[in-house]
Amino acid sequence: MLHDTLRFFPGGDRAVEVELGDGMDFTLNFTVHRLVAAVREAGIAAIEDIIPELASLQINYDPDRISYEDLTRAIAAIYEEMGSDVSGSLPSRLVTLPVCYFDEETTACIEDYRKTYPDKRFDPDLLCELNGLADRAALARRHSGTEYWVAALGFWPGLCSLLPLRPGSRITAPKYNPPRTWTPKGAVGIGGALCCVYPDRTPGGYQLIGRCPAPIYDGTQRLPAFRDSLALLRAGDRVRFRPVTAEECAWIDAEVAAGRYEHDVVEYQIFSVDRYLDWVKAHGEKA
């Protein structure tokens, strides 16, 4: 749900959080990205960094070049001028990621956590129960049966927040409490209503369902997909997961290790927001 107006929350003397609404949905996140694009277009020189997120954005600024008051006034004016209609088309890459569901590595990671916290339900079983899914096969079908919208990147270099685009494809889950101290690189997780792929071996809190052998971050830029960027994905891309067997997963691991793996990235598509929202309406659910 969008708020009537922007809400500004100062974060110290060099940052401001701009909240557009309350919730995790495509329409709200798309509006965040429209506002970010409009703010960039305005070229306010004192802005150092902008972080688009699900329902808000953070602006880091140099307070010796622009005051908090002038900055927030400028942002509010840009938002007003922009209008609130969610419409238009944008180039959006479609990235297909292989995923080996319920693989050995993430299973071992869950078991490792359960040694310390034996009451922790095994992640896939917990997800099935909370989302009314009969078994793991149904969980994998639900997860791989939709395109995802890359809503934001953050927390760690290249880590993406993915929102399912197909109505009825949401899988929701609580986060680990306390968080894990480690997660296998490439683990695919569900937290809240979001899906993510862990770009590296990092701490984490999402429930794990499998592993993606195709890297989404490459600090050494060895593979062709990382020629222009260390992170594979950017906001506004779409992701689809392709289930693979343990054998194919091992083959991809070997291709990656040899520096040969080519990611499946389709670059020629235009994403029409209007047609998408019409399609959602036809499926009888709000995006």
Partner 1 sequence: MNARCITVLKPGLETTVQELPGRIGYLEQGFPVSGPFDKWSFRQANLLAGNPRDTAALECQFLGPTLRFDCDATVAVTGADMRPKLDGEPAAMWRSLPVRAGQVLELAAAYSGARGYVAVSGGIDTPVVLGSRAVFHMARVGGQALARDQVLPLGPPPSGAGDILAVPEASRPPFSTDKTWQIEALAGPNDDWLDPASVEMFFSADWSVQAKSNRTGIRLSGPQFAFAGRALDKSSDHGQDPSNIIDHGYPLGAVNLAGQTPIILVNDAPSTGGFINPFTVASAAFWKLAQAKPGDVLRFRRIDREEAGRLRAALETVTSAGVAVRV
Q: Interface residues with partner 1 (CB under 8 A)? A: 9-17, 19, 22-24, 48-58, 60, 63-64, 68, 152-159, 161, 172, 174-175, 177-178, 191-194, 199-200, 219, 229-231, 234-235
3-state secondary structure of 239: strand
Q: In terms of CB distance, is 167 or 191 closer to partner 1?
A: 191
What is the DSSP annotation of 134-172?
SSHHHHHHHHHSSEEEEEEE-SSTT-EEEEE-STT----
In the bound complex, what is the minimum distance in angstroms from residue 231's beta carbon to partner 1? 5
In the bound complex, what is the minimum distance in angstroms from residue 159's beta carbon to partner 1? 5
In the bound complex, what is the minimum distance in angstroms from residue 32's beta carbon to partner 1? 11
What b/e sequence results for 6-16 when a residue is b if at least 16 CB atoms lie within 10 Å of its CB, and e otherwise? bebeeeeeebb
Place of tokens 């306010």: 44
In the bound complex, what is the minimum distance in angstroms from residue 178's beta carbon to partner 1? 8
For the four alpha carbons of 113, 116, 121 and 122, in that order, the dihedral sign comes to: positive
In the bound complex, what is the minimum distance in angstroms from residue 11's beta carbon to partner 1? 3
Q: Are 159 and 151 in contact (CB under 8 A)?
A: no
Q: In terms of CB distance, is 196 or 244 closer to partner 1?
A: 196
* Residue 171 tokens, joined: 């899988």
Q: Are 141 and 222 in contact (CB under 8 A)?
A: no
**H-helix or E-strand containing 113?**
helix 104-116
Q: In terms of CB distance, is 174 or 242 closer to partner 1?
A: 174
Q: Are 28 and 20 in contact (CB under 8 A)?
A: yes
In the bound complex, what is the minimum distance in angstroms from residue 23's beta carbon to partner 1? 5
**Number of neighbours of residue 41 by Cβ within 10 angstroms:** 10
Place of tokens 């890297």: 215
Q: In terms of CB distance, is 143 or 170 closer to partner 1?
A: 170
Q: In terms of CB distance, is 121 or 136 closer to partner 1?
A: 121
3-state secondary structure of 46: coil
Q: In terms of CB distance, is 27 or 161 closer to partner 1?
A: 161
